[in-house]
Amino acid sequence: MTHEQMIAEYELARKKALGMGGPEKLAKRKEQNILNARERLEVLLDEGSWAESGLFATSHRAEMRDRTPADAKIAGFGKVEGRQVAVVSNDFTVLGASSSVINGKKIRHMREVASKSGMPLIMLGESTGARMPDRMGAEGRALLGQDAYEYRRLRESPWVSALLGACYGSSTWYACLSDFVVMRRGATMAVASGRVTSAAIRQEIDSEDLGGWKMHAETSGLVDAVVETDEEALAHIRKWLSYLPSHQNEAPPVHPVPEGSDGRGHRIVDLMPEDSAKVYDVRKIVETVVDVGSMMELKPRFGRSICTALARIEGRSVGIVANNPLFKGGAIDVDACNKVIGFLVLCDSFNIPLVFMVDQPGFLIGVEGERRAAPGRIMNWMNALALVTVPKISVIMRKSYGQAYLNMGGGRNSDEVISWPTADLGFMAPSVGASALFGVKEEDDPVRYRQLVEELSKDTSAWRLAALYETQAVIDPRDTRETLARLLEVHRTRQGKAVGQHLLANWPTTF
């Protein structure tokens, strides 16, 4: 073979691999305004940074080789804002991006390199699930060859998943193992498709009801963000990665402080109602404390009585856990517990300090909570909190009642506890305590009821907490940003290192 023939053969093989599922299938996606697997890489990655791995891979089955360019999963390395990432982009135009023996090897290689080299792993999901006949019968089981390592998470580096179409099988598994999941409306995620599930249980099931965005953003809590388009999903991935280090042994990146970030504390007194019985949206207060435009809320539709968000203070990443009285009066339910636990794991695994913004009346009690193992969730939270090794600062804004006082970083559960003069500490709301503890109702004995409420309200102020040195400072709410910036500076490093011990690195990704 001459050099000219060799080059011609190479170009022909390359053109076939890059052709994906063929012009007709690619054109159909374009008509639907859905990016194909390679276009997604162009949008996600820095220009000119792509280095593909396995371009010439195909199915190991002789009859399928000509039909499986790149074997339906495009893998390789690129850069996001100059930092290396490993990526797998599922090509739905090739056999529905079904999982096979060969493309499984590609995923494994990407995961191993990401772990060893210390770079994020990004999975752009869209898959019909397992490929038949690769998975059928005893031979299929033997060829599968997977062990528990396939699903081990030690969080050496961040994992990200985008759900950009029908996602079953491996696309679902990797989403559930990821640290951040973004879903496009119209995409679905489930163990198996609605058609397969309907046949299995002999009941018609709509795929959207089975695993659409509402299910996972509001009920299961498996999705962190919902977007309208592929482009928005990829932008969310780039934004989320901007808060994270490339791996667990480095500090998060530092960004320039946007103009106008300081001097906004005066807005807090306008946003916080003077009447402690009135609700407000804590997210508006958080926005005045963090750098302008830096707040990225995670799981905003799930466990809504608590807001979890990545943000920056003075250009440095922080994780915000803030009670939101706008929903359920800020009472913490089971979903909120699960949401916070996952967030603690994320922040501790990747060296992001935590700030608790506290205004909660306790845990939401009742039969439903007990049925969903609320006590276990509360203790899981405390267990996780005890294992957190990144800096923790708690800001008591208003109410902090009962056991939840400890869960929200009160007492010795934070490196620093600061309070606003509006802080109200107690076991429960005095009005509730009068009835619950003493059995006295206002309508039955108003005089005695008022006496009990007054008695239960004693010694619950920020000043009493400060006198006992259970809070290290009582501050003007307008000084919150400056106070947090200074204390984060004090606690950011531990013996010269801005890296924690990662005691939560192998905590399960879902509960």
- pLDDT tens track, the chain, 511 positions: 899 999 999 999 999 999 999 999 999 999 999 999 999 999 999 999 999 999 999 988 888 888 999 999 999 999 999 999 999 999 999 988 888 889 889 999 999 999 999 999 999 989 988 887 766 555 555 555 566 667 888 999 999 999 999 998 888 999 999 999 999 999 999 986 666 666 566 677 777 778 899 999 999 999 999 999 999 999 999 999 999 999 999 999 999 999 999 999 999 999 999 998 899 999 999 999 999 999 999 999 999 999 999 999 999 999 999 999 999 999 999 999 999 999 999 999 999 999 999 999 999 988 888 999 999 999 999 999 999 999 999 999 999 999 999 999 999 999 999 999 999 987 556 655 555 555 656 666 666 666 655 555 556 789 989 999 999 999 999 999 999 999 999 999 887 888 999 999 999 877 6
Least Cα distance to 289 among 319, 259, 262, 270 occurs for 262
The whole-number pLDDT of residue 453 equals: 54
Helix/strand/coil percent split, the chain, to 5: 40, 20, 40
The answer to whether 334 and 377 are in contact (CB under 8 A) is yes
Amino acid in the structure at residue 467: A
The whole-number pLDDT of residue 207 equals: 72
Measure Cα distances from 19 to 44, 127, 505 in Å: 20, 19, 40
Q: How many residues are listed for the chain in this entry?
A: 511
The whole-number pLDDT of residue 128 equals: 87
Least Cα distance to 150 among 85, 118, 117, 105 occurs for 105
Distance from C-alpha of 109 to C-alpha of 107, rounded to nearest angstrom: 5
The answer to whether 392 and 353 are in contact (CB under 8 A) is yes
Q: What single-letter DSSP state applies at residue 166?
A: E
pLDDT in tens, 189-216: 998 666 666 656 667 777 777 889 999 9
| Token pair of 182 as six digits | 């973004």
Q: In the block, which residue shows the tokens 């528990």? A: 148
The answer to whether 310 and 352 are in contact (CB under 8 A) is yes
Distance from C-alpha of 30 to C-alpha of 18, rounded to nearest angstrom: 16
The answer to whether 97 and 73 are in contact (CB under 8 A) is yes
Instruction: Tell me the sheet residues that pair with 161.
Output: 123, 181
The answer to whether 402 and 378 are in contact (CB under 8 A) is no
The whole-number pLDDT of residue 436 equals: 52
Amino acid in the structure at residue 320: I
The answer to whether 376 and 275 are in contact (CB under 8 A) is no
Instruction: Quote the pTM value.
Output: 0.92
Domains of the chain: 3-241 (3.90.226.10), 267-423+461-491 (3.90.226.10), 430-459 (no CATH)
The whole-number pLDDT of residue 131 equals: 82
The whole-number pLDDT of residue 247 equals: 97
